[in-house]
Amino acid sequence: MSGLGGVVTDLVADIDAVFLFSPSTADYETIVDESDVPVIVVAVENTVGAELFIELPIEFNDIKERIRFGMEGGIDQEYIDTGTIILCAMNLFDDGIDSVIRIRAGEFTHTGIYDLFVNSRAEPSVIRNVLEVVIGLGKKGQKGKPVGALFVVGDAGKVMNKSRSLSYNPFEKSHVHVGDPIVDVMLKEFSRLDGAFVISDSGKIVSAYRYLEPAAEGVDIPKGLGTRHMAAGAITRDTNAIAIVLSESDGLVRAFSGGELIFELDPEAY
Ligand SMILES: Nc1ncnc2c1ncn2[C@@H]1O[C@H](COP(=O)(O)OP(=O)(O)OP(=O)(O)O)[C@@H](O)[C@H]1O
Ligand SMILES: [Mn+2]
């Protein structure tokens, strides 16, 4: 015997809800049948046809981010409230559920990661597409060299008013959208040059090469980051846009909303 029996019993005692992260249909059906508390599925797609479902915009590889997204979504969708004790079950290795985590929903610092995707002006799929381009750039760089990039997403009219052009806008008269594979290649290509990309609520590429000029006083960004991140944070406080930034210096992807850093991820982990 491992001696862990008591710990495991305590883990599952008196829980109010179960969160299943990307379960198989078989696991979902067994658990839903046997559970006397609500079972909420958190996944990129509702392939199991769950009644209680929270859509993940990406499979956060950082487990804490994944759980945080689920918690914030659960509260927003009113499946749970802050006192709820939750058992999170997920698969981290080959297949089947191999990990359980017990957590009280209120113990989580609310970062706004769910709001960022779901309650932003821009459509969630647009934010996801931008994030995918940025993660792709972060992984490969441009021709093998690390590259930085700044995407401002949503509230494009106001963002354009608070910025100026650094160069000819290659997207001037085009009606192209992020998520189109050809456009994503163009975005990666243009990311070598200075300034920000401005994307509309519906994903239209409004401009490249924008120099952002938001009011920056009072915007706090982590130490060590420079003007690109400052501009990204500040534009999201000055407008209803969000910003997704790839740092050329540390290779991390960061998202800002309402002037705050919402999350940070390492593209190499995706
Ligand atoms: N206000 C701005 N609007 C748009 N782009 C900007 C702005 N300020 C800086 N940048 C872009 O960010 C680039 C890097 O600047 P800087 O090194 O100061 O930023 P950083 O936050 O340290 O980012 P990185 O981690 O990528 O180095 C600049 O070359 C420029 O292309
Ligand atoms: Mn820098």
Domain residue limits, the chain: 2-114, 120-269
Share of the chain above pLDDT 90, in %: 76
Secondary structure class of 130 (helix, strand, coil): helix
Name every protein residue with a CB atom under 6 angstroms from any ligand 1 atom: 148, 150, 194-196, 211-212, 225-229, 231, 247-249
**Å from CA of 17 to ligand 1 middle:** 44
- Tens-place pLDDT, residues 164-182: 999 999 999 899 999 999 9
Given a cut of 90, is residue 48 above it in pLDDT?
yes
The number of the ligand 1 atom at minimal distance from the alpha carbon of 227 is 18
Confidence of residue 111 (pLDDT cuts 50, 70, 90): confident
- Tens-place pLDDT, residues 112-154: 889 898 889 999 999 999 999 999 999 988 777 899 999 999 9
Out of 169, 228, 254, give the residue to mutate to test ligand 1, the one with the largest number of ligand atoms within 8 Å of its CB.
228
What DSSP state is assigned to residue 105?
G
pLDDT, average across residues 83-103: 94
Question: Does this complex have an ipTM over 0.90?
Answer: yes
Say which ligand is closest to the CA of 251. Answer: 1
According to the model, what pLDDT value does residue 180 have? 94
**Å from CA of 55 to ligand 1 middle:** 33
> Closest by alpha carbon to 163, among 194, 123, 119?
194
The residue ranking higher by pLDDT, 38 or 220, is 38
Q: Distance (Å, rounded) from C-alpha 174 to C-alpha 205?
A: 8
According to the model, what pLDDT value does residue 142 have? 73
Backbone angles phi, psi at 105, to 5 degrees: -55, -35
> How far is CA 186 from its chain centroid?
23
Confidence of residue 216 (pLDDT cuts 50, 70, 90): confident
The residue ranking higher by pLDDT, 216 or 157, is 157
Given a cut of 80, is residue 1 above it in pLDDT?
no
> Closest by alpha carbon to 87, among 37, 26, 29?
37
DSSP per residue over 26-52, as a string?
Answer: HHHHHHHHH-SS-EEEEESS-TT--SS
Confidence of residue 217 (pLDDT cuts 50, 70, 90): confident
- Tens-place pLDDT, residues 67-79: 999 999 999 999 9
According to the model, what pLDDT value does residue 120 have? 92
> How far is CA 187 from its chain centroid?
19
Task: Give the mean pLDDT of the chain.
Answer: 93
| CATH class entry, domain 2-114 | alpha beta
* Residue 8 host element (H or E): helix 5-12
The CATH classification number of 120-269 equals 3.40.1700.10
According to the model, what pLDDT value does residue 63 have? 92
What pTM does this model have?
0.89
